[in-house]
Amino acid sequence: MKYRTLPGTELEVSTVCLGTMTWGQQNTEAEAHAQLDLAVERGINFIDTAEMYPVPPRAETQGRTEEYLGHWLAGHDRDALVIATKVAGPGRRDWVRGGRTDLNKANIAEACETSLRRLRTDRIDLYQIHWPQRNLPNFGQTVFDPAAERDGPSIAEQVEAMGALVRAGKIRYWGLSNESTWGVCAFHHAAAQLGLPGPVTVQNCYSLVSRSADGDLAEALFRNGMSLLPYGPLAGGKLAGKYMGGARPEGARFTLFPAFGPRYAKPHVDDAVAAYDRLAKSRGLSLVQLAHGYVCSRWFVGSSIIGATSTAQLAEDIDATGTVLDAETLAGIAEIQRLYPNPAA
């Protein structure tokens, strides 16, 4: 396993981060703990969760993932691990915190305290805003609609809330998730104006079929000294090849939850996946190796978030993240991207 220090932080993290969103829905607590044991054995020290997990989110299960992780953490060396979690924003799951989901100071503080209790820890290493307070196209949507504008706490108030948590020692650093280039720059500007720490990471969807981070967001990351924490490097399993030819394997995510991840049902996603599969085979690789190898090769990636529902899948994913793609393979990927530039945007 390789490690790097996230820019702007003292967090030395494995270049692979263990994602947790299936724990409590598709995975039992025992299965979650088995994944954690394997991940740590293989050198992963970075674990990402969220107060909203597991997904698909339900009022009955919300918070269960953090609880599973907290039970495991209680018996392990907390100082050897980097723990990230997220505060949910408004407009999607109004049963989170009894509907108190506007990202104001009080709600962010409450969410942090609740996550700390579930995680059984005294600090969160990286605390992230799960999705923005403001109106913007997200989760595969691409068209901005001014008519959807809504009132709410300002970006400055959110920066102040995170600064207060840093001062209190509740969190070490903070970041953004499902955020736009404008948002990254606006948060950094507000932090500079207030003399407070700004966000250090952005956790956005990124894979061979989701390439929105390649352009102006990459520039914003570079100029603000940040890194991307990509989630969905296998596009919800599409880039594992399990859904090729319209297959719906028993127990697979899109079999159990057909409406989940609508971005992966967009036109040309399957065409792009098939093209990448042909390229992988021609280069003597699996599709999983091609997908993970590409994401991990990007200069702006701090740590790639992988998730699985079995330890066998997790082991395959960890192995695949070490794949080094040669120039000919990268050229083949670039050619496919020209045909299918961002099908699951």
DSSP label at 6? P
235 within 8 A of 209, measured Cβ to Cβ: yes
Q: In sequence order, what DSSP letters do the residues of 91-148 get, joined into one string?
A: SS-TTGGGG--S--HHHHHHHHHHHHHHHT-S-EEEEEESS-SS----TT-----GGG
| CA–CA gap between residue 192 and residue 185 (Å, rounded) | 11
Closest CA to 88 of 131, 123, 49: 131
| CA–CA gap between residue 75 and residue 72 (Å, rounded) | 6
| CA–CA gap between residue 175 and residue 59 (Å, rounded) | 25
Q: Is residue 340 annotated as a catalytic residue, yes or no?
A: no
Cα–Cα separations (whole angstroms), residue 39 to 63, 234, 306, 308, 324? 22, 18, 10, 11, 21
304 φ, ψ to 5°? -90, 130
Based on the number of CB atoms within 10 Å of its own CB, is 315 exposed (0-12), middle (13-18) or buried (19 or more)?
A: middle
Active-site residue, selected from the candidate residues 3, 53, 68, 206: 53
Give bridge partners of residue 120 from the DSSP assignment.
Answer: none
Give catalytic residue positions.
53
